[in-house]
């Protein structure tokens, strides 16, 4: 009986928007997987609604293809630093990586981050220079920059001897070396490079079972599903399996799996057994957590638990206590919010959930603003109502001195907006460390600043540059606490009563600052309705109507001309608020409110 086909496990790693998911699409088309599924869909692995809307990959996903008798498992990973935990988990599943680099942008901050993680695990790389058809492509220069990056990361000699494949992933064309693929080129050079460079999985299929759990999923009928890789031995549904958990003093849980799946094409196929190197999905162990090991009950040998970088930002998630609570969502209680966050932390190793002094609030820590915003957005789409605080940085005590996270931001902007970037960085105690002018009228500015200073930085630059700025951030280390940092210029304009907003009231208020509400909106006491042009907070009545008389005092009474209101997204609202404010999030609305709704309660809190 012939054995299974030869196997290669490969992760695609790159900076955000360098084309990983598009390359996977091309590989699926080249091996006939997408043809078998009918209609062509671009970025088929970005199946989550937010992934498609934001144009980024959030969750690592795996597909399996057959190339000339060799089965290749492809793991697509996020490129954004906020989802680095997904990258680190994916690398435990594979024996090599495809490192994608944009032919014009070259290596970027996340390229360095993901490559450093791959080299730390001694994974060989196939370098793919993508988008070589761009008019501003710099093929030879980018190739040199890639070599410099490997040298900077102290790569071993055998890691630096990597093959280079040039690609136009969108068209499914590749060629060996640093060159433009011909019009008749296909994906064969890339597949051949994978088979030749990435080793077959190590491990002994005849040894006692050892399989590491790297991810979790859930099924309405099967319950909790464990996703991972077989390191040694064979996992068989007909055999008893021992689950070794985090506490080494606890005895292993021993039972037979109820279902076992392998990856096949875009989906999962039920199988009876998987062997060394295979990726698997197993059901029947409701107690399983990320980092656990499936092993042989007769010889239980747990593998080292999965370790990832810790969070750098934290914020509180609480029950919605506004007067409008319960009018737009159906998941409202602290128990429902807590259970949802516990499920998230169970399947997301870079999210931490903890208690606070109040039973109505939960402390949530993550890698960055985007990761936390994605979680909040997912919850509101599921029907949750909640209120969240301004993010705060996670602080470390190093040698008795308070330290905070230092972040590196790489900003790609048109040349005329370079001054905007440098001024914004200086105000946030940032330091310009590099500036590179390109050939296409854009400049790449690299700066370092405390993570606190970069809260809302992306939003500020997007507004200042009319959406033309590209901002990428990553953790660059820890620095001594830098003291107070400036936040926003104006104080909050706060509604002093509940009611319906009128155009007459807003006409008078718009002279005092920028407004967040429009005529017809529902407001309540303590809701923030705008930003004052002055630093101090002010209360106002946005529901005031014009007294009806038969005397027209002014020609301007005939028509009210209101400036457009500033509509906050979830990210802009979180970045705008101060410590005494909250963002109220419901399935249909995003509102900003004071933590204490009445003016007397706010005065008392300030005295305290």
DSSP class per residue in 576-591: H--TTEEEEE-SS-EE
CB 378 within 8 A of CB 433: no
From residue 343, alpha-carbon distances to 217, 339, 374, 495 in Å are: 10, 6, 15, 37
Q: Is the pLDDT of residue 604 over 50?
A: yes
Last residue of a domain, one of 295, 326, 345: 295
pLDDT at residue 405 tops 60: yes
Q: Say whether 42 sits in a helix, a strand or coil.
A: coil
Give yes or no for residue 4 having a pLDDT over 70.
no
Q: How does pLDDT run across 509-536, given as a tens digit for each residue?
A: 888 888 898 888 899 998 998 898 888 8
Q: Tell me, yes or no, whether 182 and 236 share the same domain.
A: no
- Beta strands 492-495 and 538-540 are parallel
| Same domain membership, residue 432 and residue 284 | no
pLDDT tier at 82 (50, 70, 90 boundaries)?
very low
Q: Are residues 191 and 217 in the same domain?
A: no
Q: How confident is the model at residue 1 (pLDDT cuts 50, 70, 90)?
A: very low
HSE value, Cβ hemisphere, 13 Å, CA-based, for 353: 18
CA 324-329-333 angle, 5° bins: 85
- Torsion angle defined by CA atoms of residues 213, 218, 224 and 227, in that order, rounded to the nearest 10 degrees: -20
What does the mean pLDDT of the chain come to? 81
Q: Among 254, 277, 295, which residue terminates a domain?
A: 295
Nearest to 508 by CA among 493, 527, 523, 489: 493
* 69-83, 272-286, 586-600: least confidently modelled range: 69-83
Do 43 and 133 sit in the same domain of this protein? yes
Q: Is residue 168 part of a domain?
A: yes
Q: pLDDT grade, residue 591 (50/70/90)?
A: very high
Residues 402 and 461 in one domain: yes
Answer yes or no: is 566 within a domain.
no
Q: What is the rounded CA–CA span in Å between residue 387 and residue 395?
A: 23
Residues 6+ apart with CB under 8 A from 139: 103, 129, 132, 166, 178, 179, 180
- CATH number, position 444: 3.30.70.240
Find the mean pLDDT for residues 154-179: 87
Q: How confident is the model at residue 53 (pLDDT cuts 50, 70, 90)?
A: very low
What does the pLDDT average to over 256-281? Answer: 84
Q: Are residues 170 and 218 in the same domain?
A: no
Residue 93 corresponds to which tokens in the numbers above?
A: 């599943």
| pLDDT (0 to 100) of residue 440 | 66
Kindly report, residue by residue over 87-143, the tens digit of the pLDDT.
Answer: 777 788 888 988 888 888 888 767 777 788 888 888 898 999 988 888 888 888 889
Closest CA to 364 of 339, 346, 391, 383: 391
How many other C-beta atoms can be found within 10 angstroms of the C-beta atom of residue 359? 12
Residue 142 lies in a domain: yes
**Is residue 607 situated within a structural domain?**
no
Q: Does the pLDDT at position 290 exceed 50? A: yes
Clarify whether residues 186 and 243 are in a common domain: no
Decide: 211 and 295 in contact? Cβ < 8 Å.
yes
- End-of-domain residue from the set 262, 280, 295: 295
Give the separation between CA 152 and CA 171, rounded to whole angstroms: 33
- Domain of residue 137 covers 7-197
Six-digit token string for 128:
């793919």
Chain position carrying tokens 């516990």: 342
E strand spans, 199-344: 210-219, 223-232, 234-236, 241-244, 253-255, 259-264, 267-270, 273-275, 279-283, 293-295, 313-318
Residues 6+ apart with CB under 8 A from 400: none
pLDDT of residue 548: 63
Spatial separation of the C-alpha atoms in residues 295 and 251, rounded to whole Å: 12
559 conformational bin, left if phi > 0, alpha if psi -120 to 50, beta if neither: beta
Give the torsion sign (CA, 457, 459, 465, 467). positive
pLDDT score at 43: 41
Q: Is residue 506 part of a domain?
A: no
Confirm whether 387 is domain-assigned.
Answer: no
- The domain that holds 248 is classified in CATH as 2.40.30.10
User: For residue 39, what pLDDT is reported?
Assistant: 42
Number of other residues whose CB lies within 10 A of the CB of residue 502: 18
Strands 581-585 and 513-515: unpaired
406 with 447, same domain: the answer is: yes
In a domain, 180, yes or no: yes
Residues 216, 193 share a domain = no
Q: How far apart are CA 582 and CA 577, in angstroms?
A: 7
Pair 438, 463 in one domain: yes
Region of poorest pLDDT, from 45-59, 252-266, 310-324, 380-394:
45-59
Q: How many domains does the chain have?
A: 3
pTM: 0.69
Going by C-beta distance under 8 Å and a sequence separation of 6 or more, which residues neighbour residue 464?
417, 420, 424
Domain check: are 72 and 93 in the same one? yes
CB–CB of 114/16 below 8 Å?
Answer: no
Q: Are residues 152 and 259 in the same domain?
A: no
Task: Tell which residue, 169, 111, 120, has the closest CA to residue 142.
Answer: 111
| Domain-located, residue 215 | yes
């Amino acid at each position: 009986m012939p054995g299974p086909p030869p196997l290669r496990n490969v992760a695609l790693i790159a900076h955000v928007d360098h084309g990983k998911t598009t390359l996977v699409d091309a590989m699926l088309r080249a091996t006939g997987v997408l043809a078998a599924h009918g209609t062509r869909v671009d970025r088929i692995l970005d199946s989550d609604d937010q992934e498609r809307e934001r144009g980024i990959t959030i969750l690592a996903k795996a597909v399996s293809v057959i190339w000339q008798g060799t089965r290749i498992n492809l793991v697509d990973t996020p490129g954004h630093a906020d989802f680095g935990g997904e990258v680190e988990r994916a690398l435990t599943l594979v024996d090599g990586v495809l490192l994608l680099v944009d032919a014009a942008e070259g290596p970027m901050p996340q390229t360095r981050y993901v490559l450093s993680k791959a080299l730390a695990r001694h994974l060989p790389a196939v370098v793919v220079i993508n988008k070589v058809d761009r008019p501003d492509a710099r093929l030879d220069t980018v190739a040199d920059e890639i070599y410099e990056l490997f040298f900077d990361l102290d790569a071993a000699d055998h890691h630096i001897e990597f093959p280079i494949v040039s690609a136009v992933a969108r068209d499914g064309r590749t060629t060996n070396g640093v060159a433009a693929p011909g019009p008749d080129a296909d994906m064969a050079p890339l597949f051949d490079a994978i088979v030749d460079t990435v080793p077959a999985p190590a491990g002994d299929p005849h040894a006692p079972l050892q399989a590491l759990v790297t991810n979790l999923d859930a099924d309405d009928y099967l319950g909790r599903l464990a996703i991972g890789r077989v390191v040694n031995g064979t996992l068989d549904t007909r055999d008893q399996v021992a689950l070794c958990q985090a506490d080494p003093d606890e005895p292993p849980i021993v039972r037979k799996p109820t279902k076992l799946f392998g990856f096949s094409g875009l989906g999962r196929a039920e199988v009876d057994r998987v062997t060394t190197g295979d990726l698997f999905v197993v059901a029947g162990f409701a107690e399983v957590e990320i980092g656990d090991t499936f092993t042989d009950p007769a010889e239980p040998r747990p593998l080292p638990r999965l370790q990832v970088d810790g969070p750098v930002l934290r914020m509180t998630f609480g029950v919605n206590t506004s007067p409008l609570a319960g009018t737009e969502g159906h998941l409202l209680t602290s128990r429902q919010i807590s259970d949802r966050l516990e499920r998230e932390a169970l399947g997301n190793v870079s999210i931490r959930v903890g208690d606070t002094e109040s039973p109505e609030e939960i402390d949530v820590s993550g890698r960055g603003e985007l990761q936390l915003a994605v979680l909040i957005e997912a919850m509101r789409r599921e029907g949750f109502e909640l209120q969240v605080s301004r993010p705060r940085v996670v602080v470390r005590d190093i040698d008795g001195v308070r330290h905070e996270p230092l972040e590196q931001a790489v900003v790609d902007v048109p040349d005329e907006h370079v001054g905007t970037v440098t001024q914004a960085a200086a105000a946030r105690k940032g330091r310009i460390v590099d500036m590179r002018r390109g050939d296409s009228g854009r400049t790449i500015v690299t700066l370092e600043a405390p993570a606190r200073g970069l809260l809302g930085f992306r939003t500020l630059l997007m507004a200042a540059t009319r959406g033309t700025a590209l901002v990428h951030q990553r953790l660059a280390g820890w620095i001594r606490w830098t003291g107070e940092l400036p936040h926003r210029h104006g104080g909050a304009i706060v509604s002093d009563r509940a009611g319906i907003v009128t155009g007459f009231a807003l006409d008078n208020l718009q002279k005092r600052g920028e407004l967040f509400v429009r005529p017809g909106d529902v407001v309540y006491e303590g809701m923030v309705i705008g930003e004052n042009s002055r630093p101090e907070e002010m209360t106002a009545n946005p529901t005031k109507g014009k007294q009806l008389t038969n005397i027209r005092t002014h020609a301007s009474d005939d028509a009210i001309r209101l400036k457009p209101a500033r509509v906050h997204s979830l990210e802009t609202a979180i970045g705008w608020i101060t410590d005494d404010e909250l963002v109220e999030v419901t399935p249909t609305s995003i509102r900003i409110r004071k933590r204490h709704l009445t003016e007397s309660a706010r005065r008392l809190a300030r005295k305290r």
